[in-house]
Structure 1
Amino acid sequence: MAEFTITEFQSVVNACFDGATSEEIKDSTLHTEFTDLGFDSLTVYEIVTRIQDDFKVSVPDEQLDELTTPAALIQYVQGQLTTV
């Protein structure tokens, strides 16, 4: 079974943005809103699109609106992976 942890999330961010923003994602900032981390909605959408492609999960747009922190997104994706 695949896992989606902070490490995988950081890897996706690195792949999307050449590592420019992944330093902002660490254990102490997992529960910080994406907007407070400097991620606008387009940035989050690009990250989620990459996650969907790489991990073969689905994150519906209406669900994405509720996933406002890295921790929430990581937990949601991990939940999708465990139900596959």
Structure 2
Amino acid sequence: MSAFTLDEFRKLVDDTLDSEAAAALDETTLDTTFTDLGYDSLTVFELVTRIQDDYPVTISDEQLDELKTPSALIAYVAARLTEARA
């Protein structure tokens, strides 16, 4: 299983939402809250569901409440994947 990086997240956003939303994600927007990026809670839930479908990662509702930015979500998933490989 590969690492989970901005590129993987961007592809997931492109597949789940659209290419415009994916193109808006870059190093300058990683610490912007999902809300400020225009993602409602259903959109974030859909992205997390896709992550859980595609990667051996579980994200509880409580954990999701703490992951408010793309950077936080990417870091969380990457850490869980590293743990899974250990």
Matched, 1:10 2:42: no
Matched, 1:52 2:85: no
Structure 2 residue matching 1:21: 3-state secondary structure: helix
Matching residue of 1:25:
25
Matching residue of 1:79:
79
Give the C-alpha shift of residue 2 in structure 1. 2.1
Query: Structure 1 segments of 4 or more deviating over 2 A?
Result: none
Mark the runs of 5 or more structure 2 residues left unpaired by the alignment. none
Structure 2 residue matching 1:76: 3-state secondary structure: helix
TM-score by length of 1: 0.95
TM-score by length of 2: 0.93
Mark the runs of 5 or more structure 1 residues left unpaired by the alignment. none
Matching residue of 1:35:
35
**Count of matched residue positions in the alignment of Structure 1 and Structure 2:** 84
Percent identity at matched positions?
54
Matched, 1:62 2:62: yes
Structure 2 residue matching 1:39: 3-state secondary structure: coil
Q: Distance in 2 between matches of 1:50 and 1:63?
A: 16
Q: Distance in 2 between matches of 1:2 and 1:23?
A: 22
Alignment RMSD (CA, Å) = 1.0
Q: Distance in 2 between matches of 1:23 and 1:34?
A: 15
